[in-house]
């Protein structure tokens, strides 16, 4: 039995592609190992979202190639977005790579292995309008109680800074019955938290029905026994309807967590970014989401240093972040990506200015987040235990409450947690809020 080692880079959408490839290989009786030095075949699933991600992908490929001489690796396969973007040129520049699979070729992983064994360097670049379904084998790498479910692929938004539509294709949604069937299976396996993801989750179903089918999907998912939390990622404003908002507030299983990738607020910058929603649209949505007294936690991401961003435009963004009081914010320095319209724009901002603006906006948000977290003190929340730590006889549980997403948000620490196990969900009272994390106690 051959050993498979893997490295999955980038977003959770990429992680699902990795998991279904591992499922295919497990069906072919290959064994998955954590130690790359013990792997006969190494798979690196790459990201190309921004320059730092691209550099990490290349560095990881070269690190994995060392195991051809320092370990037992006989085959190195590169998959995902970096390969989709650069295709055959990546094979030419990296002789260490034995096979290359694009984002639409994950289901040809076994075929690629067989081709390499026959002495050929494989390069498969198939239609990216291609998704796994409920029948696809999958080896989940997340904790047993939590899973990601991809409901769609691709994007129709055409933002000038983004390479993703070129490597993931146009919007392509899974049928509702396929998603429901998968979530039922996951629930039967003990999964309690479902994280729904797509490039643009609120656009789910627009290619099928002409309108967002996300509310229709959610109404079926909340009926599935065993699922406690349903979390929505990448909720673009354009299709964020009143129906969706009311559903999120009304249904207890849907986490009150609104992840809005806004990117900027200055109208002139939004126009250069080719964003679908104007400043007025965004402000109206924020007002609507806050109508119920902030029952919904707000998270967003922003880009600083976009080509031509003036000091006035940046200050407008800073004021917006402070005034809106997002619960959490991610900030990216603009990355000049080959093949995007923004890469050719004049007035590119220097690295030094981008770095300065990044730290300024993060500093503003840190203060806002601390105020928001302090406002939670004394309130009750459902807590999902993820790790149990014992030191000097004190047992502490580390995990998340319903407004903290895996990987991207802070953590909650609960003392005197003897008896809790990873995956347990209990009610806690927030004791203290900090800039990123919370402390809590078990509620009586």
- Per-residue HEC secondary structure of the chain comes to CCEEEEEECCCHHHHHHHHHHHHHHHHCCCEECCCHHHCCEEEEEECCCCHHHHHHHHHHHHHHHCHHHHCCCCEEEEEEHHHHHHCHHHHHHCCCCCEEECCCCHHHHHHHHHHHHCCCCEEECCCCCCCCCCCCCCCCCCCCCEEEEECEECCCCCCCCCCHHHHHCCCEECCHHHHHHHHHHHHHCCCCEEEEECCCHHHCCHHHHCCCCHHHHHHHHCCCCCCCEEEECCCCHHHCCHHHHHHHHHCCCECCEEEEEEECCCHHHHHHHCCCCCHHHHHHHHHHHCCCCCCCEEEEEEEECCCCCCHHHHHHHHHHHHHHCCCEEEEEECCCCCCCCHHHCCCCCCHHHHHHHHHHHHHHHHHHHHHHHHCCCCCEEEEEEEEEEEECCEEEEEEEECCCCCCCCCCEEECCCCCCCCCCEEEEEEEEECCCCEEEEECC
Q: Is 155 annotated as a binding residue?
A: yes
Residue 11 counted as an annotated binding residue: yes
159 is in an annotated binding site: yes
255 annotated as a binding-site residue: no
Provide the annotated binding site for [4Fe-4S] cluster.
Answer: 11, 47, 81, 155, 159, 162
Provide the annotated binding site.
Answer: 11, 47, 81, 155, 159, 162
């Amino acid at each position: 039995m051959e050993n498979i080692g893997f490295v999955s880079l980038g977003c959770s959408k990429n992680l699902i592609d990795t998991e279904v490839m591992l499922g295919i290989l497990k069906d072919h009786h290959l064994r998955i190992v954590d130690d790359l030095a013990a792997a006969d075949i190494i798979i690196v699933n790459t990201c190309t979202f921004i320059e730092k991600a691209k550099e990490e992908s290349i560095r990881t490929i070269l690190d994995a190639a060392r195991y051809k001489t320092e370990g037992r690796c006989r085959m190195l396969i590169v998959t995902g977005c970096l390969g989709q973007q650069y295709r055959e040129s990546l094979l030419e520049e990296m002789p260490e790579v034995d096979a290359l699979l694009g984002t639409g070729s994950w289901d040809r992983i076994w075929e690629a292995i067989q081709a390499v064994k026959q002495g050929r360097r494989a390069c498969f670049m198939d239609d990216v309008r291609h998704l796994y379904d409920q029948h696809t084998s999958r080896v989940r790498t997340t904790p047993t109680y939590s899973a990601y479910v991809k409901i769609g692929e691709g994007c129709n938004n055409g933002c000038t800074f983004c390479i993703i539509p070129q490597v993931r294709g146009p919007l392509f949604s899974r049928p509702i019955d396929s998603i429901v069937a998968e979530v039922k299976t996951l629930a039967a396996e003990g999964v309690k938290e479902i994280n729904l993801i797509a490039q643009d989750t609120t656009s789910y179903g627009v290619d099928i029905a002409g309108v967002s089918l996300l509310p229709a999907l959610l109404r079926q998912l909340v009926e599935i026994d065993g699922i406690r939390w349903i979390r929505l990622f990448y909720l673009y404003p354009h299709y964020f309807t009143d129906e969706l908002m009311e559903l999120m507030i009304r249904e207890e299983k849907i986490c009150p967590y609104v992840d809005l990738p806004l990117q900027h607020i200055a109208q002139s910058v939004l126009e250069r970014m080719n964003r679908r929603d104007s400043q007025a649209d965004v402000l109206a949505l924020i007002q609507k989401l806050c109508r119920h007294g902030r029952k919904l936690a707000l998270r967003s991401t922003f880009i600083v240093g976009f080509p031509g961003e003036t000091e006035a435009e940046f200050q407008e963004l800073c004021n917006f972040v402070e005034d809106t009081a997002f619960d959490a914010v991610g900030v990216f320095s603009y990355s000049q990506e080959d093949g995007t319209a923004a890469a050719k724009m004049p007035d590119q901002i220097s690295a030094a200015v981008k770095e300065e603006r990044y730290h300024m906006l993060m500093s503003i948000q840190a203060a806002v987040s601390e105020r928001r977290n302090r406002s939670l003190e004394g309130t009750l929340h459902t807590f999902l235990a993820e790790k149990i730590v014992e030191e000097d006889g004190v047992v502490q549980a580390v995990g998340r409450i319903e407004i903290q997403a895996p990987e991207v948000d802070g953590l909650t620490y609960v003392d005197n947690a003897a008896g809790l196990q990873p995956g347990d969900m209990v009610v806690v009272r927030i004791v203290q809020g900090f800039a990123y994390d919370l402390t809590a106690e078990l509620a009586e």
